[in-house]
Chains A and B, each alone.
Chain A
Amino acid sequence: MYNKKFIQLIFSGFLFSFLLTSCFKDVDFSQAENLSMEPDLEVDLLYYKLNELDFLDSETSAYTPAIRDTVRLEFLDDDYIQDGLVYAALRFKHENVFPYEINTNIRFLDKNGRNQFNVIYTIPEGFEGSPAVIDTLRVLEGDEIQKMRRSIQMVIDHEVIGGDEKLQGNLKFMSKGLFRFEF
């Protein structure tokens, strides 16, 4: 009888003490504060293909060498996005078939229309079957990223150098952004 109780006690004590002494070891849950999501997002921005009609007045057919448009990039107008953005690489690619150089100014404006940064280049003249290609990368990081954080409008200005009503050709534009975040 003594032996039975002894065995019983030993087993019970062993099992209970084993369970009670179980614990989480070798871990530090306070590291959770340092957890961050760091996604790199590749996002298409603007694209278009202009032809000679885009440089003619729709009513008078008068030649208009300078054209402009503004696009709001609302996805950048968000506190969460702006606070988390740490790096941006913007890529702009033009393919010009117009036989004239084209001055290009791509501007990024804040919500009040103030210029934050811009990318300026001249697209060389091209020819049918042999477009002039200009591929530009603008990286914003470190202190400069503030400019991207404030930017929510993208303005594109084109000015054809020379040319007239007989302008023929097209201008293709592609753009994308690589946005790196730390949330």
Chain B
Amino acid sequence: MWKFAPILFLLFSLNGFCQNRPLLYGVDDLPQALMQNPGTRIDFTRHFGVPFFSQIHFFAGSTGVSAYDIFADENTDINDRVRRVMRDITAGDYFSVNQQLEILSMGWKLSDRIYFSAGIYQEADVFAYFPKDPAVLAFEGNADYIDQDFNFSDVSFTGELLAVYHAGLNYKFDAKLTVGGRLKIYSGIFNAESTGNEGVFRTVSTPGGPNFYRHEVRGLNVNVNTSGFASLRDEEGMTVDEAVAELMSRSLLGQNIGVGADIGFNYRVTNQLSVGASIQDLGLMFHQKDVENYNYFGSFETNGLTPLFPELDGNEATIPYWDIFEERVDRNLNEETTNNEYTTWRPLKYNASFQFGTGMSILPCDYLISKKPRFMNIFGMLFSGVNRPKGPTYGVTAYWDRKVTDRLRFRVAYAVDEFSLTKLGFMMSSRIKNFNIYLAANDILGYTNLAKANSASLQLGMQFIFKDL
């Protein structure tokens, strides 16, 4: 029966959807697996990352457009290409950039059952939906869109830069179940977000009305919250060194603070089959310092200006119709800058996986079950997602994990997600004595020409990993 496992695995993999960092998920001899699932099974007794180099992670993606779609080196007008892209792209398409840099990473076995890990990393996360309606209005105008709504709700983005201090425990409950949790303290450096916006702009044809059209702004309610922005903006003449020093001070819990947690588990259903799941960054950021909010709200409509044909002698000024119009606009469409504290959820990530091992081997591994059998080939599938302002983004990855030796391991993955239907990934981890180096690249087909790729991600790092028996 298990002979057919690889075939079933491939068939399933063709029906999935994927994203995240699947190449490091569940890799039991990399400490980074604990960052994705604190309850994962691990195969080391101590680790210490090379400061600033234990994990460098970068991801960038766009669901609706690639650089080639706009900047293709061909004999067509770039503006025609922009118009074509704008026609095809939807308000649900998005751009996403995520970067992480592990500053410190360490961990050690506290007892036969418990592994403690802690560290500091810096993260930047930018996620923006394509603001289709405002973009169409700016690029094409309203002439071809009479009686149609331009929705301000299309403006939706989040961006944050923060440092994360974390400590977690991995607890082997019994031979089958491992659970884990990680507490995080977020130190906000910069945040900007504008979500849940409302309102429409519409040009309505009005046959039988006072003029050809009525221009309306209805239910406008657009908010942009920022923290860590106002002080930098006001610091004219700040040198780069001063700006870096300022940002560094904020990363040391000197500015806005948040708290969060990761939890996860791994369960061995049979000797060969295991399942696992985790959630990451279940947490909140409390923006209380250096906060500035920009609010735009109100409703307004106009059919144009109405001259009154007053009786004026030659010296009298005409009625300032435009000024009166502007006053009306200002009364009805308000702009307000405030300094109200606000709270944001961190983008919650969730993973669920199962994996199946074949090719049993007796290697000195898994400190909790040392010298117990392990499998040289692991076939797995990971379902992952991230909560975003308009709903979660999903992906599915199927992988083949191969332990060539106790010191060399690679993983080949195929994923489907909202960026690509042909996402191939490759990870290699190697250990020379206790020094480990790993490199993982996802969407490697895209690396042949990044201009045509909808996404690319890369993780690499080096650290000391000990497998004391």
Whether B140 and A40, one on each chain, are in contact in the complex, defined by CB atoms closer than 8 angstroms, is yes
Chain B residues in the interface with A (C-beta under 8 A)? 67-68, 71-73, 77-79, 82, 137-144, 146, 203, 210-215, 302-311, 318-322, 326, 404-405, 407-408, 410, 426, 428, 430, 439, 441, 444, 447-452, 456, 458
Q: What 3 A-B pairs are tightest by C-beta distance, nearest first?
A: A39-B141, A44-B304, A40-B143
A42: which of B142, B322, B444 is its contact (CB, 8 Å)? B142
Chain A residues in the interface with B (C-beta under 8 A)? 4, 7-8, 11-12, 15-16, 18-19, 22-29, 31-32, 34-50, 54, 57-58, 64, 67-74, 91, 93, 156, 174-176, 178, 180-181
Q: Which residues of A contact B305 (CB under 8 A)?
A: 45-47, 71
Whether B72 and A15, one on each chain, are in contact in the complex, defined by CB atoms closer than 8 angstroms, is no
Q: Which residues of A contact B214 (CB under 8 A)?
A: 44
Whether A34 and B79, one on each chain, are in contact in the complex, defined by CB atoms closer than 8 angstroms, is yes
- Whether A31 touches B71, Cβ cut-off 8 Å, given contacts A15-B426, A47-B210, is yes
B342 to chain A, nearest CB (A): 33
Seed contacts A57-B311, A72-B321, A176-B211; 8 additional CB < 8 Å A-B pairs: A23-B449, A27-B72, A32-B71, A32-B78, A46-B307, A47-B305, A48-B306, A178-B143
B408 to chain A, nearest CB (A): 5
Whether B449 and A8, one on each chain, are in contact in the complex, defined by CB atoms closer than 8 angstroms, is no
For B427, the closest partner residue in chain A by CB is A15
Q: When chains A and B are docked, how far (Å) is the Cα of A134 from the Cα of B321? A: 26
Q: When chains A and B are docked, how far (Å) is the Cα of A147 from the Cα of B452? A: 46
A34 to chain B, nearest CB (A): 5
Q: Which residues of B contact A8 (CB under 8 A)?
A: 408, 430
* Residue among B68, B212, B430 with max Cβ neighbours from chain A (10 Å): B212
* Residue among B71, B72, B407, B410 with max Cβ neighbours from chain A (10 Å): B71
For B449, the closest partner residue in chain A by CB is A25
B451: which of A16, A27, A174 is its contact (CB, 8 Å)? A27
Q: When chains A and B are docked, how far (Å) is the Cα of A63 from the Cα of B48? A: 97
Q: Which residues of A contact B203 (CB under 8 A)?
A: 42
Whether A4 and B303, one on each chain, are in contact in the complex, defined by CB atoms closer than 8 angstroms, is no
